[in-house]
Chains A and B, each alone.
Chain A
Amino acid sequence: MSAVSGRVGVVLVSHSRQVAESVAHMALGLAGGADVPVAPAGGTGDGGLGTSSELITEAARRVDRGAGVAVLVDLGSAVLTVRTLLAEEDELPPGARLVDAPFVEGAVAAVVTASTGADLDAVAAAAAEAYGYRKA
């Protein structure tokens, strides 16, 4: 690809719509209002607790700028649904990747790193690195 390619997109998948939206808000805020495409995909389609594959695929398409999409998940069905969508070739944009990272800290690290124009490998590595920071 020539010219400047787009930023890596970030999708935040949580069982709760509020958690996904709040973590997106927090990550963008801590990234200094950076120009990173971030989309929450929280809860079920009707606003309940759970996982919606449709919300995830919509979010991934929305943030796809051709530079890859880092997908962060909280637990359980969020993990399994994204793994399942990735196993199907056509469900998520090419370059979408499930990132093994803690949800909140990983989201902040991913968005901040993506804001520097880093590629998907670097974004995923930064998010995963958040596991290594001990708090006590």
Chain B
Amino acid sequence: MHPVRKQRLILVVFVVAFSCLAVGLLTYALRENINLFYPPSSIVAGQAPVDKRIRAGGCVLPGQVKRAADSLDVNFLITDGAANVEVHYSGILPDLFAEGEAVVVNGSLNGDGVFMATEVLAKHDETYMPPEVSDSIQQSGALNAANSGQHQATCEGMQYGS
């Protein structure tokens, strides 16, 4: 290769490598801030600020959704497998909200460790399947066997380790 071109090639490689390094360090330093939400285990461990606007995310624990009979109040537990956090919300839930599905809630943590949500977002997983196929899988028990029958059954798509 011509020496001048070789020099320019080295320069181009240097520009790309240097910008990768700079952005890599930047995102590493900001990794806590880039996360959209706190998982329940870090909220329980006291890593989330109290009475500040934050987001929490996890799977809705099946059988633990309590709706008030005379209002839109709803209480449910979210989990990441390691810990649970109670969420209180008053309002209309998104269509895809369901037990065993992932949610991201926006609000603040009160002194009792209850998350007072002002917004509930449904986080769908990466599985796409026609209804008939999912019915037949459930009948054969393959879906439950594959997920050891835990509450993560439909929530397995969530990446908890970052």
* A and B from one complex: no
| Chain B interfacial positions (CB closer than 8 Å to A) | none
